[in-house]
Amino acid sequence: MREHMLRNMRDHLRALDQIIGDVSAQRYIEASRLAEERLGMSSLRAHDAEHLAQYFPKDMQLAGSAMHRAASRLRWRPATRTSIARIRGLLKLTARLAELTATCTACHAAYRLAEP
């Protein structure tokens, strides 16, 4: 169980690195897709989250859910409008990315796995 959780957390970190890389390379649609597939609400089954969550304290379950919801909100809609609309969209995207990383930081600050 411990190793499974560590694998999931490391996969989350790899996904976050890729998302940030995609955003910095202006691959916004790819970043959005990756966020949903690897971290968002639709990723829960792949990570077997329901099985693991039952062993977490309630506040940790809530933190995990907040992270998955934040990842699902990390969407980019291509701007076919004005450059001002595009800038606003990018600002919203980076705010959502900050929200996502803040959920990770808060959980990792509050919880640690017990040593085997």
DSSP string, 6-32: HHHHHHHHHHHHHHHHHHHTT-HHHHH
Summarised one tens digit per residue, pLDDT across range 20-45 is 999 999 898 899 999 999 999 999 88
The pTM assigned to this predicted structure is: 0.85
At residue 56, what is the residue type? F
Is residue 14's pLDDT more than 90? yes
